[in-house]
Structure 1
Amino acid sequence: MRKGMLVGRDAQILALSALLDRAIAQAGGAVILRGEAGIGKTALLAHASTLATARGMRAVGVCGVQAEVHIPYAGLHRLFRSLRRDAPAPAVEIESPYRAAMVLLDQLGTRHQRVLVAVDDAQWLDRGSWEALTFAARRIGSDPVAMVLTIRDGEEVDRLLAQAGLPELRLEPLSPVDAGVLLASVAPDLSRPLRERVLEQSAGIPLGLVELGSVAATSGDARLLPSWLPLSTRVERTFAAIVAELPTATRALLLVAALDDGDDVDEILAASSRFEGCPVTVDDVGPAVATRLVQVDDWHRLRFRHPLLRSALYQSAGTAQRRRVHAALADVVVADSDRHVWHRAAAAAGPDEALARELTGLAARAGHRQASGAALAAFQRAVLLSGDAAERGRRLLAAAEVAAEQGDITTARQLLDDVVDEHLRPVDRAWLSYLREGLLITGWSGAARLPVYAGLIDALRRDGDGQRAMNALAAMSLRFYWSNPPPETIQAFLTVADNFDTLTDDPRMIATVGLIAPVERGAVTLEQMTRLLIRFDLTPTEQHVLGVSASGIGALDLSAQFLTAATAGVRAQGRVGALAQVLTSQAFAAAFLGNTRVAVPAAVEAAELAAETGQPAWALTARLIHGHARALTGDTAAARKAADHGESVLLPNARLPMLALVQVVRGVEALADGRPADAYRQLYRIFDADDVAYHPYLRFVAFGHLAEAAAWAGKENALRAIVPPLTRVAGECGSPALVTTLRYAGAVLAGRAEAFGTALAADLSSWPFERARLQQAYGAWLRRQRRAAESRPLLRSAAETFDALGAVPWADRARAELRASGESLRRPVDPADTLTLQEQQIARLAAQGLSNREIAERLFLSPRTITTHLYRIFPKLGIKSRGELSQALTGKFSDGR
């Protein structure tokens, strides 16, 4: 029958065979088998396993179970057991779905045998397992691994697949001819009228053809239901009729198994005995196995032949009966506190505030383990059990936040729609307003509602919920930075922050205050952050917020140090969603420091990870920063594309202050392209308080480019008008970026050797791009003064620095000035330019002495993939061993120009 169900699937079998062959050739990959219930996905997956075994591959698999969707990493734990032949082995400790993906890749990549990972009913995997498996699936390109996942059609599935980004192989209903062939193999002796009825009712769905054909063959048309019923309903009722003929004890254990979130036979029998009030033994499983309704493997795990059988059992049981089953399961799994709570919740007949509080705690624990799917399910069940209207509202808000973190904006909006505003406490009512705006329900309000949020945070603090208040203040600070709030709003938030007497030494508070008031509190924040730099007990989260705050004040050198540490820490934790944010921040600091060697790969990885983890706002920011970095390299086409895309998203959503990032990209692109007047026009919008792209704090880090554009375009008078107010701001906040670039502006406006000498005498060791920009300006001035010999060392140094940073147009201009002085300097060839971005990352980490496994952990790849990349890197660099990497990457070679 299994073979028969593959009628009409030649194209799909060919595609799966090709996937397996590529895996054998160490070019692994993954595919999604997609289609409606009963279309034959499971049969095709089983056939793929047979094909894999015939090729000498090992086939391991796992099946999603609807009852387990609330158990963090339940599916992945079962897959790990399948990978271990000596199961039951201890469960793998999972910190996050992405760390779990790395454990899976490591286990698959270090085996000598080629592997097929077969995942059935993936739509019913818990969210953590789904994210881990799809994350791993996108990273098995150099491993002898194939992954095939089956998934049932549905609206939720569309969203999941869009985020997964995996190729799909769709299964459609069989053609009339193929349907007839399949039916003939199942029920060859049907009368013509009965055959036509089965074909019509099955509509080309293989499961319908097999099950309804079998019923028709044994019972005629007596048990064929009306065709207006959905096929799934007809098949479910067919299964229910089969179950109804089984002994009472067997029916009981099947119902318990259908509602159980585990698959252990002993557990199912124990709960069945409680449910029935008499012993149910392993002998009672026999009739279900004999009728092929279930299978029991060598490790006493029970699996249903088809998911619709679970549905049939569920539908056939009444509400009271299902509650009794869950009560029995709760008694059996009492040692597992989380499962115990879940089954008690499912057994509850009405509101139970105490149980709702337990579920809320369970949701919080799941959230800490980055099991957002389990957290959302727990919050939603807690909402249904809530006896307190205000607590119900708060749980709805929490559930909406979790759904939004998953990237499921539709569910988040639905949950917020269920909130009854008048039932909320005043604090939660304000938080509802914040969530509605943040989820694009009411639109972006800019700074208008910020005072309301200040009151919300202060009310939380006064109510004794200091930690939640601190979290809210920290979350608000970045939003605050991009809102251009008026002075009175800034002061209101500072007053709220100052009321946190017990948290004044909290690194997050220091960073938050710096973002809220970069001018008013900038100097004191810089002093505090400089002291924190030598602390060894900072968490990656604290390092990240400190790095963001330092960038906001313009302490880019300080920011780079915090963010480098944060990146390493977050990678080690496997928090990929957070890593996307940290890398975006790191790319921001590096781009404004002119360091394209760090900015480009960080921005590319950040954009990819942000898209993978459902963070569109961070993905957009990373793309804009990538455009900025590409402009510095001279890739003006990529820069213009990034700017156009950013503007197309930001303008319609009224995210106007963030347009400053677009103007940076356009301004730097114009500078790189030799259009200084256009560069000045684009950049000046950031400095014009009447422009929608105005940003008072981005001026700190963009002023160097504006000053260069003004000097090059002959707009010295316009620059002179800008310098005094910025000098006053720099005096108040001490922004290092602004102080440094004001020295440059002062020197080019003065046009005297003494002014250039004074500017260069400052400590610019942390500002190589700005030092090179100043050297180039001074060298060009000296050449025009016919002091060519004095200009050459400055121009040579500037060109070499720009080359090292990857700022090609700036380096070319320095070389042009040098040629005009009578000396030529060829452009060096960077060996890394022959490598892809990922190869560059791998090569540089290998050159630092990291092992393949350590590199794999940092880049979320398998060790085998790292090995494969290194084999490709060596010939590109003209080397033969790992020991030559460092010299190859730092060596200077000429391209003859």
Structure 2
Amino acid sequence: MSKHARIVFLVPVAVMPASGTEAPRLVGRDEALADVLAGAAPVTLVTGPAGIGRSALLAAVRAELVRRDVTVVEIRLTQPEHAQPRAGLLRLGNELLGLRRQWLPTANADTRPVLAKAQLTQLLAALATTGRPLAILVDDAQWLDPQSLDTMLAVAESMTDIGIRVVCAHRTPTPVKAPDTVHEVRLRPLHRKETELLLTRSLQARPSRDLRAAVHRDCRGIPALVLAAVAGHRGSGALKMIDQHAYVVPADQPPVLPPDSPVLRQLQRDDPLVWEICKALAVFQPLGDAVVGLIAEAIEADEQQVLTVLTALRAEGLLLEGPWRFRAPLLAAALLSCLGPYDARSLSALAVTAIWEGTAKSPDPRYHLDRLVAAGRLVAPDRAAAELLDGGSAHLVTEPATAARWLAAAAERSTDPDQRALAVLRQAASCSIAGDPAGAVANARIALARDVNHHPSGALLELTIIELVGLIISVGPDAVREFADKGWRSAPGGETNRLVARAAALSLLDQVAEAHDLLSAYRSDWLSAGATTTSMGLTLSSSAGLLGRWANFQLDREHAPQLALWQEERHKVLVVTTWNWVWLLYGELGAARRVLDENGLSPEQLNPLNLMLHASLAGRWDEALDLGRPALAGPDTTTATGARVVAHQHLAAILTARGLPNRARKMLAMARTEPPSLAHLLAGPDADLARLLGAPARARSVLTEGIEYAASQQLVVGVDELRWRLIELDLAVGDTDAARRGLRDLVHDAEFAGTERARRHLLLGRIAVLRDVDAAAEAVRLARRRGQLPELAGTLAIVCGYGLGDRNLLLEAYELYGELGALVPRALLRSLMRAQRVTVPGRQETVLETERLLARLVAEGLTNREVASLLETTEKSVEGRLSRLFQRIGYQSRAELANAQLTGELDC
């Protein structure tokens, strides 16, 4: 045999001719791949448990060999072939015989099936005489029948002097018969960072911290399980994408795997006893020492039989040492999800009975509650209902989706009408919090009809509002409009409840002025009602601030602390956080903080969207993004007017400033799928995007429509800011007459709003239109006193942009935008600095930042024309910069650049 021939058994693959096939991208397998390709011994054994990635590694080996012009022969063995003598040898021989007919068509050779060592040796020797490199890949070698395995190893050992190498991919455990000639490459579980990279590539989004932690915990670094978890979350609809970040909603939702999932097929063996034991173990594994006995009882088997199977599964690496448990919790969860109704009930009933009788203990009370749900009526219903109601109530806020399931079972099992009514009420609340609007509506309607006599007036109002919020999310505004027009008259709980419920419906429809007029007309009624009704009235009445009716707003603020409900924390928190929200909508961070201090509340008592706005206005933009994304991925759990729309508005503005315009555009598009509330506030960042990307006409249209919509709804909040943007736009296109008219309108807008931020916008208008030096000085003083970093940076930049600021103000604005990570304003300020002959600080840092912004814009999918418009340069300049950028960083295409940016492999 020619020494130039290189024959490699890869036990793992039809003949695959040499081609330019690109190697698949593996995670955490670079060392293993290099080890296999190096061929440190005649026989290399690639080992590891099911799902660890043996086949994926061998595919990468195949791709690399093909790249090196090596012809590849592949066979993949199956479980039934293990019981067929010489089946593996026969398949390999057939592939090699076919290859010999291609390479040596004139040879007078033996064509009998290959069934012996001598035949295989002669066949390989004949192929080697061609001098062509050859690799033989055989996947799932654990299914090689003993005779085939002995023959293949013997042939490899006998031919070591002429360079034959055998590489076998074999599931653990691996009984190797020639240890002296075998080099084992054992694939380890992925490290945490590697798991996160695989997760990111699979999701094509950055996984949230909770998702990363859950996948690492439940999959134990097994790549197949990581991919199965992603597929399971996608299939169940629990995976939510916000701004290229992935979240599971609700957070406690496990992935749902189908029964035919590959990770479950590994447990479906020829012996059906293995499958039955695995299913039972998934149910009983938290019960410690009682596991074996319970499994034996459940499947009517001998305990020794159970122990034998469990021991074999442990040897395969599927079970942990110590108590009998699956190594990867995801396997147990997958098995639970595919249990049939009978198995789920009977196995769970055994577990519950063992816990109740004291023969088994579970350290996690949630396990017991889950088994109570699954057991159905096979266990005492009264006792089960009481325990499920207690458990669901305790976890209603922290684990709402799980609590809803427990409470549903409590309601179904309960024979006591009062207990059942309480379970349904709390189930409606938990569905609302968990983001199940249809479930919230269904349960609220049951409570408001069948159980109406079991609830006080305040609870009935809460249920009515839960129903309304659920309707506008799951059905749409028409259902809420029908209630606001007619349905409110038959709402339970009395006339005052009906009025407040109608005001809530009008607010959800963005008819804020009409809602406030209604509440004002009956103010004495709802103020003298029960605590819940009064607190809801105060909450809805805070819309006076959005309308610029500050006298009414202040009246509620002065009166509320004198009410008895102020002694009840939940009512006080609800009302004060709504006041806080109103000030945040106006951009008045100082006033928002004062209202908390005056009423003894801390920021920790605010919901995530309130906290997000605090962070955004203060200039803690990373924090704002980290708070905003998961809050928007989750359900709408706040009663604050326009909360989600405003959150989208702020996040879009941050993304735009950071050079992520397409992500900002998607954020705005998502905002428009929310219930229509304060939608005019989206016009600001939308217009900024249009203007940056060279569409000033669209920017003007967006701003004009926003102002007109606000006027039609009598809304004052945010109008002054839109007017200021419109003035800037008019000046940018040279329409000074329109700008002057806009300034006159801005005087009225600022007067109606009556806030410091509105005063700032008026001053900026005077700076831009009139070049008012005094206004410039006052604007700078005001911005410094207010201490909101983005606002201060913007004020300084505008003052300098209209020629009323000195070099120091320009440099200060540049540094402030640096603290914010606002790459786009920094780039625009650099152009202004050059125009005003101000030296840009940090030459090397500037070059890197410019490249970073360019890479970010390209990864966003912007055209050269759009990039040129945003950077205020020419398309030709952009082309040159891009050429130099790609040459420096080594990527060949925009797609590669975008993927590297997404996975974090390129920091831009």
Q: TM-score, normalised by structure 2?
A: 0.51
Q: CA deviation at 1:585?
A: 2.9
Q: CA deviation at 1:350?
A: 9.0
Taking the aligned partners of 1:49 and 1:480, their CA distance within structure 2 comes to 61
Q: Does the Cα contact within 8 Å between 2:353 and 2:379 map onto a contact in 1?
A: no
SS at match of 1:364: helix
SS at match of 1:265: helix
Matched, 1:263 2:287: yes
Matched, 1:210 2:286: no
Q: Does the Cα contact within 8 Å between 1:667 and 1:683 map onto a contact in 2?
A: yes
Alpha-carbon deviations, 1:592-647, whole Å to 9, x = none?
Answer: xxx5xx44x456545654576577999986655343234445x4xx5467447634
Residues 768-783 of structure 1: pairs in structure 2 closer than 5 A:
none
Match of 2:86 in 1: none
Alpha-carbon deviations, 1:504-562, whole Å to 9, x = none?
Answer: 999x9998875664433656899999xxxxxxx99999998776443123304566999
Matched, 1:301 2:324: yes
Matched, 1:366 2:395: yes
Residues 528-607 of structure 1: pairs in structure 2 closer than 5 A:
548-556=581-589, 581=609, 584-586=612-614, 588-589=616-617, 598-599=620-621, 601-602=622-623, 605=626
Q: CA deviation at 1:149?
A: 1.7
Match of 1:330 in 2: 356
Matched, 1:666 2:686: yes
Taking the aligned partners of 1:17 and 1:677, their CA distance within structure 2 comes to 45
Tell me the amino acid that sits aligned with residue 437 of structure 1.
L
Alpha-carbon deviations, 1:56-75, whole Å to 9, x = none?
Answer: 67669xxxxxxxxxxxxxxx
Residues 224-303 of structure 1: pairs in structure 2 closer than 5 A:
260=284, 262-266=286-290, 269=293, 285-290=303-308, 299-301=322-324
Alpha-carbon deviations, 1:839-859, whole Å to 9, x = none?
Answer: 99xxxxxxxxxxxxxxxxxxx
Taking the aligned partners of 1:132 and 1:39, their CA distance within structure 2 comes to 39
Match of 1:491 in 2: 520
Listed as ranges, the gaps of 5+ residues in structure 2 are 1-10, 17-21, 35-49, 56-77, 81-139, 143-168, 175-182, 200-206, 249-254, 315-319, 454-459, 561-568, 597-601, 857-887, 890-908
> Larger relative contact order (C-alpha < 8 A, sep ≥ 6)?
1
Matched, 1:723 2:751: no
Question: Could you tell me which of 119, 135, 142 is aligned with 2:212?
Answer: 135
Taking the aligned partners of 2:13 and 2:712, their CA distance within structure 1 comes to 60
Q: CA deviation at 1:736?
A: 2.5
Taking the aligned partners of 1:693 and 1:357, their CA distance within structure 2 comes to 49
Q: Does the Cα contact within 8 Å between 1:660 and 1:693 map onto a contact in 2?
A: no
Listed as ranges, the gaps of 5+ residues in structure 1 are 1-5, 61-104, 120-129, 176-203, 212-234, 244-253, 464-469, 530-536, 564-568, 784-789, 841-874, 877-897
Taking the aligned partners of 1:158 and 1:777, their CA distance within structure 2 comes to 49
Matched, 1:387 2:431: no
Question: Could you tell me which of 746, 756, 760 is aligned with 1:736?
Answer: 756
Tell me the amino acid that sits aligned with residue 625 of structure 1.
H
Taking the aligned partners of 2:511 and 2:742, their CA distance within structure 1 comes to 25
Q: TM-score, normalised by structure 1?
A: 0.52
Residues 147-226 of structure 1: pairs in structure 2 closer than 5 A:
147-149=223-225, 158-159=235-236, 162-163=239-240, 210-211=270-271
Match of 1:90 in 2: none
Identity %: 12
SS at match of 2:395: helix
SS at match of 1:764: helix
SS at match of 1:210: coil
Q: Does the Cα contact within 8 Å between 1:359 and 1:382 map onto a contact in 2?
A: yes
Taking the aligned partners of 1:673 and 1:347, their CA distance within structure 2 comes to 60
Alpha-carbon deviations, 1:458-511, whole Å to 9, x = none?
Answer: 969999xxxxxx9x99999996989665431453797688569989999x9998
SS at match of 1:375: helix
Match of 2:404 in 1: 376
Q: CA deviation at 1:663?
A: 1.3
Match of 1:833 in 2: 849
Matched, 1:625 2:658: no
Tell me the amino acid that sits aligned with residue 475 of structure 2.
I
Q: CA deviation at 1:375?
A: 1.6
Alpha-carbon deviations, 1:239-292, whole Å to 9, x = none?
Answer: 78xx9xxxxxxxxxx99978647331247759999x99xxx9xx9622433466
SS at match of 2:287: coil
Q: Does the Cα contact within 8 Å between 2:382 and 2:414 map onto a contact in 1?
A: yes
Match of 2:708 in 1: 688
Match of 1:430 in 2: 464
Q: Does the Cα contact within 8 Å between 1:676 and 1:710 map onto a contact in 2?
A: no
Alpha-carbon deviations, 1:810-848, whole Å to 9, x = none?
Answer: 66777777777x7444376656838989x99xxxxxxxx
Q: Does the Cα contact within 8 Å between 2:731 and 2:739 map onto a contact in 1?
A: yes
Q: Does the Cα contact within 8 Å between 2:684 and 2:703 map onto a contact in 1?
A: yes
SS at match of 2:29: helix
Q: CA deviation at 1:684?
A: 3.2
Taking the aligned partners of 1:402 and 1:671, their CA distance within structure 2 comes to 44
Tell me the amino acid that sits aligned with residue 382 of structure 1.
A
Tell me the amino acid that sits aligned with residue 554 of structure 1.
G
Q: Could you say if the C-alpha distance between residues 516 and 59 of structure 1 is closer, same or farther in structure 2, counting changes exceeding 3 Å?
A: farther
Once superposed, what is the RMSD of the aligned Cα atoms? 7.2
Question: Could you tell me which of 699, 703, 709 is aligned with 2:729?
Answer: 709
Taking the aligned partners of 2:303 and 2:13, their CA distance within structure 1 comes to 35
Q: Could you say if the C-alpha distance between residues 657 and 411 of structure 1 is closer, same or farther in structure 2, counting changes exceeding 3 Å?
A: closer
